[in-house]
Amino acid sequence: MYEKQLLLIPGPTMVPPRVLRAMSAPSMGHRSKEFSAIIKDVADNLKKVFQTEQDVYILTSSGSGAMEAAVVNFINRDDKVLVLVNGKFGDRFVKINQRVGAEVIRVDYEAGTSANPEDVKNMLAKNPDIKAVFVQHNETSTAVVNNVKAIKQAMGDHEALLIVDSISGMAVADLPVDEIGADVVVAGSQKAFMLPPGLAFITVSEKAWKVNENCTSFNFYFDLRAAKKNYAQDTTPFTPATNLILGLKEALDIILEQGLESKFKQQLKFKKIIREAVKAMGLDVLVKDEQSASPGVTAVMVPENIAWKDINNIMLNEFNVLLAGGQDELKGKIFRIGHMGYVQETDLLTVIADLEMALYKLGYKLELGQGVKAAQEVILNLKGEM
């Protein structure tokens, strides 16, 4: 490996050397006082990033494990749930709920559009026995960000839990968990947290803990009661991925040094850089509505008569840039540029310049430099502050 690849997929994202160094410390006893102090430090900082006073538990798993935890600890067989589906990961919430034996009402949105809070209101009115509403904060597969706050508001006084997958949204777009009143929120290490994959995070409101008391479907490894009990002693029920947690400590320090507000603003700028640049190249974006476009990943339509496979081939093998294709029914139709985590503006100029050259080589009609120019104009605020 030459190891100079520009990794711009929507996770795993690039990891700062500071984090990699922290991860390469010698092994530690996971029940040692020294490690408990690290757990405590990390737990405190996770609360800051989640903007919550509740505990944020650390799971050693991919984000999908945390999604399962967000279902099995609260939903019983035959419970009715509403799942808003903006893409592959919304569909995953459906599948996990089906495994539990829940009765799933799903509302599907056209690829590239965000969830409509009105639908939640109507569905809850029609089905007052809905026990939980599931939604992605940021749907990675379609590069859509949902307005979680508006969804919660649309729920009004209904007692259903709001369960949010913010795996690729947390620390990318503002999600003040307590202020909004989201009940269960999950995040993952390999997105904006700038860590390798292997850790996931989950927080649970008091209301959700009450629901958990009557939950019988939970499994063993993802039993959050055990997580809660152990967290009170600054430890975890099972041996956690200690070295990833050492990296997490460093990554959280980096995030909080920058500050959440600055980070969210930066992410919006990244989004604008990419969107303006690809539009200047004559490309379409999947998400037309600015408010619905993710600040962490942008989905670009593959131009007519050009194959994503060929674009990817040039980007990867000639320019050493890894982008992501579309998934499932979007395969070949879109490609995705990740811009979350350890990314700076220069990286985005590079990817735009490379993309121009790749498309140029494939016979796509464009004037070289126009995309870069549009990106530069955003960086320099030539068209007004964000």
Whether residue 117 is preceded by a cis peptide bond, meaning omega within 30 degrees of 0, is no
C-alpha to C-alpha distance for 134 and 85, rounded to whole angstroms: 9
CB 336 within 8 A of CB 297: yes
CB 245, min distance to its own copies, A: 9
Task: Give 9 or 252: the residue with its C-beta nearer to its own copies.
Answer: 9
Opening angle at CA 166, ends 339 and 193, nearest 5? 50
Task: Give 160 or 343: the residue with its C-beta nearer to its own copies.
Answer: 343
Q: Does 89 bind its own copies (CB under 8 A)?
A: no
Q: Does 313 bind its own copies (CB under 8 A)?
A: no
Q: Which of 42, 84, 96, 124 binds its own copies (CB under 8 A)?
A: 96
CB 300 within 8 A of CB 284: yes
Q: Does 27 bind its own copies (CB under 8 A)?
A: yes
Q: Does 228 bind its own copies (CB under 8 A)?
A: no
Task: Give 237 or 371: the residue with its C-beta nearer to its own copies.
Answer: 237
Most distant pair of Cα atoms in the chain: their distance? 62
Binding-site entries for substrate? 336
Q: Which of 43, 150, 260, 322 binds its own copies (CB under 8 A)?
A: 322
C-alpha to C-alpha distance for 248 and 87, rounded to whole angstroms: 28
Residue 365 has which token pair?
A: 């009609």
Q: Does 190 bind its own copies (CB under 8 A)?
A: yes
Q: Does 213 bind its own copies (CB under 8 A)?
A: no
Residue given tokens 């998934």 in the structure block: 327
Q: Does 90 bind its own copies (CB under 8 A)?
A: no
Q: Does 29 bind its own copies (CB under 8 A)?
A: yes
**Applying CB under 8 A, which part among 146-154, 155-163, 179-187, 214-222 lies near its own copies?**
214-222
Angle subtended by helix axes 63-72 and 88-100, to nearest 10:
40
Task: Give 65 or 371: the residue with its C-beta nearer to its own copies.
Answer: 65
Task: Give 37 or 382: the residue with its C-beta nearer to its own copies.
Answer: 37
Q: Report DSSP letters for 192-209, one per residue.
A: TT---SSEEEEEE-HHHH
E strands of the chain, at which residues? 6-7, 56-60, 80-85, 103-108, 130-136, 138-139, 144-145, 161-165, 184-188, 199-204, 297-301, 321-322, 324-325, 334-338
Q: Does 63 bind its own copies (CB under 8 A)?
A: yes
CB 120, min distance to its own copies, A: 24
Contact positions with its own copies (CB under 8 A) in 7-26: 7, 9, 11-15, 20-21, 23-26
Where do contacts with its own copies occur on this chain (CB under 8 A)? 1, 3, 5, 7, 9, 11-15, 20-21, 23-30, 32, 34, 60-65, 68, 72, 95-96, 99, 188, 190, 196-198, 219-222, 237-244, 322, 324
